[in-house]
């Protein structure tokens, strides 16, 4: 199968339109599975402290969504890869093995009776999926959604992975510079400069980068990361009038860009204290507007 899938792109005649230019394609796959976060070398109290409700036996389940990204040049059929073969590879190596299973022990790396095993977290699961698909498909990236508010990305860089948590807050703001007249502010900010402000339901994605722990399977303490986002952003921002309730925006116009930058500044140190690096902050202000701030070179 590996030779067929990779060879199709490598040996076929190049498309006269694509001219062999590189292209990335994606394939989506879904599976349902359960897992249990529990390390036998820790006490019940220590497991509860580290994993919270995820430590409650016999575990819990998720509907996982996997996005497989693959790259290559177009062939004479106008394809990077034969999608039927891609689908078969993903089914054979991943979904057929994981669907409707308990992930603890389903693969050798998740058998905690082995000293080198780790917990089947989203990050660790992606690492295992990459090892099984890479010999068959020209992978460029993997993304795995454990739930709509939690997902991980893996790019094949040894033990490094990215973890994203999504949260939500509602806030009002007014876009205006105090040194300008109302007419001047409206010329710059339009309706957003109206004197009494307006509100948004903001969606915040915080992405951190780090090494997957060889035992816990985690990039960082997930509960602690979520608590940091709550303490630094949700608690002070939610149901606030940003211009008046958040001191920083008394002198800084709270555009989506400035809010995202300020959130990044607030989260950088708490994330570092967890042993990870703040990689990206994505703030969705409305269905039509979003701002994204990278604190490192853009990768995911």
**Positions marked catalytic:** 192, 239, 285
Phi, psi of 247 (to 5 degrees): -50, -35
Closest to 64 measured CA to CA, from 154, 147, 170: 147
Classify the C-alpha dihedral 285-291-294-295 as positive or negative: negative
**Burial class of residue 3 in the structure, from the number of CB atoms within 10 Å of its CB (0-12 exposed, 13-18 middle, 19+ buried):** exposed
- Taking a C-beta distance cutoff of 8 angstroms, is the pair 65, 74 a contact? no
> Residue 239: left (phi > 0), alpha (psi -120 to 50), or beta?
left
Q: State the Cα–Cα distance between residues 36 and 51, nearest whole angstrom.
A: 10
């Amino acid at each position: 199968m590996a030779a067929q899938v990779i060879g199709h792109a490598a040996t076929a005649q190049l498309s006269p339109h694509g001219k062999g230019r590189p292209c990335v394609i994606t394939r989506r796959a879904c599976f349902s599975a359960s897992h249990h976060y529990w390390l036998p070398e820790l006490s019940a109290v220590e497991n509860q402290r580290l994993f919270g409700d995820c430590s409650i036996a016999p575990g819990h389940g998720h509907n996982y969504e996997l996005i497989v990204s693959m790259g290559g040049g177009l062939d004479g059929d106008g394809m990077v890869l034969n999608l039927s073969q891609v689908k078969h590879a993903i089914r054979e190596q991943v979904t057929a093995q994981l669907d409707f299973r308990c992930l603890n022990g389903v693969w050798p790396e998740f058998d905690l009776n082995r000293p080198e095993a780790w917990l089947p977290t989203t990050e660790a699961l992606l690492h295992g999926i990459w090892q099984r698909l890479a010999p068959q498909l020209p992978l460029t990236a993997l993304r795995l959604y454990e739930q709509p508010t939690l997902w991980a990305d893996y790019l094949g860089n040894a033990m490094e992975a990215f973890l994203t948590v999504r949260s939500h807050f509602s806030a009002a703001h007014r876009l205006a510079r105090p040194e300008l007249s109302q007419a001047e502010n409206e010329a710059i900010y339009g309706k957003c400069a109206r004197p009494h402000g307006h509100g948004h339901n903001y969606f915040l994605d915080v992405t951190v980068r780090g090494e997957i722990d060889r035992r816990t399977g985690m990039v960082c303490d997930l509960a602690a990361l979520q608590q940091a986002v709550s303490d630094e952003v949700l608690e002070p921002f939610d149901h606030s009038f940003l211009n008046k309730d958040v001191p920083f925006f008394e002198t800084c116009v709270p555009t989506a860009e400035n809010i995202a930058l300020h959130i990044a500044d607030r989260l950088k140190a708490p994330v570092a204290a967890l042993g990870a690096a703040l990689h990206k902050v994505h703030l969705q202000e409305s269905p039509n507007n979003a701002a994204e701030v990278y604190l490192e070179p853009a990768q995911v």
